[in-house]
Amino acid sequence: MTTPARTFYGLRHGATDWNREGRFQGRTDNPLNEDGLRQAHEAVDMLRCAGISRIVASPLARAARTAEIIAAAISVPLAIDDGIIEFDFGSFEGLPVRDLMIKHGVTSATGLVSILPADGESWDAMTERSLACVSAWLDRHPGDDLLFVCHDAVMQGMANALSGSYFKNSHGTPFRYVCDGAHWRVEQVVTLDRYSPSPPAT
């Protein structure tokens, strides 16, 4: 497994109508809806003080548009990279997530990964390509704090591979993938006026 050399940021795109309807949304190129546009603008407030100096986005419209809004607002360069495109759900594409979870008797992200169809992408392959993409950008720009605007499956795959667990991911909510020596953790980025920051680890 490719392991990034340092801490980076990840952000799930703003919502689409398929997200609102709870459907598997892999490579289907749906646009942001009104909620998604609002979430993209709200993410700016959380990222403005984070020190982001470069953004890389998935080519799918929902991620690219989210990234464009943020990049314009904080005046940083934006690049598009296929390496963090969303997972290909194969024959699950467009189907209701909840119905399939009930049908297969699964209740967690781990369970969901276990029932993915064979005609889609391999979960491990998706995780590896995403980590390789992130690592390449971090190596190419060692002085930059990078934000990767992508998708839930991509972010979950990387989180589980690096930290050993999945996490609750929300549209337009930035997270830091923190490299702390040999250990990784995923933490939500919050603004100081909304939450009290945790004291730094010593």
| pLDDT interval class at 3 (50, 70, 90) | very high
Is position 13 annotated as part of the catalytic site?
yes
Considering only CA atoms, which of 89, 83, 29, 24 is closest in space to residue 58? 83
The b/e string for 95-134 (b: 16+ C-beta within 10 A; e otherwise) is: eebeebeeeeeeeebeebbeebeeebbebeebbbbbbebb
Question: In percent, how much of the chain has pLDDT > 90?
Answer: 92
How many Cβ atoms sit within 10 Å of the Cβ of residue 62?
Answer: 30
pLDDT confidence of 68, banded at 50, 70, 90?
A: very high
- Res. 192 pLDDT band, cuts 50 70 90: low
For residue 195, the model assigns a pLDDT of: 45
Residue 194: which pLDDT band, with cuts at 50, 70 and 90? very low
- 69 CB-contact burial (10 Å; exposed 0-12 / middle 13-18 / buried 19+): buried
Alpha-carbon distance 61 to 193, whole Å? 31
Output the pTM of the full model: 0.94
Three-state secondary structure call for residue 137: helix
pLDDT digits (tens, 9 = 90+) for 73-126: 999 999 999 999 999 999 999 999 999 999 999 999 999 999 999 999 999 999
Show the tokens assigned to 74. 């904080």
The average pLDDT across 47-60 equals 96
| Model pLDDT for residues 174-187, shown as the tens digit of each residue | 999 999 988 999 99
pLDDT in tens, 147-163: 999 999 999 999 999 99
Q: Which of 13, 121, 151, 171 is catalytic?
A: 13
Q: Which of 21, 42, 86, 183 is flagged as catalytic?
A: 86
